[in-house]
């Protein structure tokens, strides 16, 4: 598939996901993850970071996409938005390690080439990490992040306020990120 066609398809799915379509959100995440992984590997290589950092960056990017998906302007191309998130998360990773990072302006806009290999272990990793969360956090993450159910519907189903669901989701995602980092360090 041509890159611009793929980007349009991803943008269509993300627009639908923002509107509350959980199936579209799942399609978007499954399609974009190999692209993000390839981009993170290239960034690690260009910054002189160990290749092992790439997967941590991908997880941080996926969390950022989830939390900030409402900031994407649907009238603008999706590729530069994703590239910027990857670049920023890579810089954050390098800063945590105490390295000086210089990012050439040419690296801001990446082409949408991705390794088409899907990692079957991703699903197992997600399930293993989710199993370590306590209810209702696990239920909230599965409902909103995995199935794409809206916060309103999740709150209604769990007899919680929308604010409480947002707080629980935020805390659960922070916990998942910490668990993932501790498992991979």
- Please count the CA atoms within 13 angstroms of the CA of 63 that sit on its side-chain side: 21
Task: Using pLDDT thresholds of 50, 70 and 90, give the confidence band for residue 107.
Answer: low
The kind and range of the H/E element at 161 are none
Tell me if the bond preceding 83 is cis, omega within 30° of 0: no
Rounded Cα–Cα distance for residues 46 and 114 (Å): 16
Q: Tell me the C-alpha to C-alpha distance, in Å, between residue 120 and each of 33, 124, 125, 126, 132.
A: 12, 8, 9, 11, 20
Q: Which residue from 145, 149, 146, 140 is spatially nearest to 19, judged by alpha carbons?
A: 149
Task: Using pLDDT thresholds of 50, 70 and 90, give the confidence band for residue 6.
Answer: confident
Q: Give the pLDDT score at 27.
A: 93
Evaluate whether 131 touches 145 at the Cβ level (below 8 Å): no
pLDDT in tens, 49-90: 777 788 888 999 999 998 888 888 888 889 889 999 998 888
Task: Please tell me the class of the 1-117 domain.
Answer: mainly alpha
Task: Please tell me the class of the 120-185 domain.
Answer: mainly alpha
The domains of the chain are located at 1-117, 120-185
Evaluate whether 21 touches 69 at the Cβ level (below 8 Å): no
Across the range 27-43, mean pLDDT stands at 92
Evaluate whether 61 touches 92 at the Cβ level (below 8 Å): no
Evaluate whether 128 touches 107 at the Cβ level (below 8 Å): no
Rounded Cα–Cα distance for residues 63 and 40 (Å): 14
Give the DSSP letter string of 132-158.
TSPTTHHHHHIIIIIS---HHHHHHHH
Rounded Cα–Cα distance for residues 78 and 166 (Å): 25
* Model confidence, pTM: 0.51
Rounded Cα–Cα distance for residues 41 and 95 (Å): 17
Task: Using pLDDT thresholds of 50, 70 and 90, give the confidence band for residue 118.
Answer: very low
């Amino acid at each position: 598939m041509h890159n611009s066609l793929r980007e349009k398809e991803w943008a269509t799915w993300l627009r639908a996901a923002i509107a509350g379509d959980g199936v579209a959100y799942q399609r978007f995440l499954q399609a974009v993850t190999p692209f993000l992984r390839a981009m993170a590997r290239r960034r690690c290589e260009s910054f002189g970071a160990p290749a092992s950092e790439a997967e941590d960056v991908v997880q941080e990017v996926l969390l950022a996409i989830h939390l900030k998906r409402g900031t994407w302007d649907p009238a603008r191309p999706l590729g530069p938005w994703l590239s910027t998130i990857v670049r920023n998360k890579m810089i954050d990773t390098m800063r945590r390690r105490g390295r000086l990072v210089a990012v050439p302006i040419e690296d801001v806009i990446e082409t949408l080439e991705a390794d088409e290999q899907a990692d079957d272990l991703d699903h197992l990793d997600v399930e293993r990490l989710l199993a370590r969360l306590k209810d209702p956090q696990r239920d909230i993450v599965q409902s909103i992040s995995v199935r794409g159910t809206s916060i309103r519907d999740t709150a209604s189903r769990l007899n919680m306020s929308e604010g409480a669901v947002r707080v629980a989701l935020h805390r659960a995602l922070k916990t998942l990120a910490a668990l993932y980092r501790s498992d991979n360090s």
